[in-house]
Chains A and B, each alone.
Chain A
């Protein structure tokens, strides 16, 4: 089955540690995205990548970093510089442009930093 996998589902870290969240897709989509969601809120865009070896900052990129070395993979690192890292992190990929466009989301990783 094609789709997006994120691992792990739950992640716990101590404050001051960097942590990398995994996102893999086998949909052959060029574009991939990382969103953050806080309780009771909508999604906010962290980073996105339209093609391999290229990515752009979203609305809340501070304290995060990404890489896009392979089409199917878009890992997100939450650095110690991120002041409030505890959140639900969602990865997505997309297909189509213009009239035909759809984003597909993974199941998410819930990160807790104490």
Chain B
């Protein structure tokens, strides 16, 4: 399974943009990049995913490097409710394997008022 590398922690100020990086230098052409986040004492929730092109949804944007070896999750205006652990996950669509996701340790984002 292709691995991802994320910083252990990041800090942000409320109402400022946040850029959460993820390195995945061994990504294959059939790996989708998924982001989930986990608020304290809750189950993870889906944020966004993409393959090659940048993606936007109501929660965030996903910027994918041209060589696909890195990506960045962008929260446009951080709020206190965005404080969570953010997981960057690769999922190879060639091998369904029950659709399982492999979670690393993620990036713990703290947001200061």
Contacts and interface: CB of A to CB of B under 8 A. Distances in A.
A105 B98 contact: no
Interface string A78-114: 0000000000001010100111011111111010000
Contact of B44 (A31, A41, A105, A110): A105
A42 interface: yes
A45 B100 contact: yes
A43 B103 contact: yes
Interface size class of B (residues with CB under 8 A): 20 to 34
Interface in A1-53: 4, 31, 33, 35, 40-45, 48-50
Contacts of A110: 41
Given A4-B43, A42-B103, A42-B105, 19 more contacts: A31-B98, A33-B100, A35-B103, A43-B101, A48-B98, A56-B98, A92-B43, A94-B99, A99-B32, A99-B51, A101-B49, A102-B46, A102-B49, A103-B46, A103-B101, A105-B44, A105-B45, A107-B43, A108-B42
Interface of B: 32, 34, 36, 41-46, 49, 51, 87, 91, 93, 96, 98-106
25 contacts: A31-B98, A31-B99, A40-B105, A42-B106, A43-B101, A45-B100, A48-B99, A48-B100, A58-B100, A90-B44, A94-B99, A99-B32, A99-B51, A99-B93, A101-B32, A101-B91, A102-B49, A103-B46, A103-B99, A105-B43, A105-B45, A107-B43, A108-B41, A108-B43, A110-B41
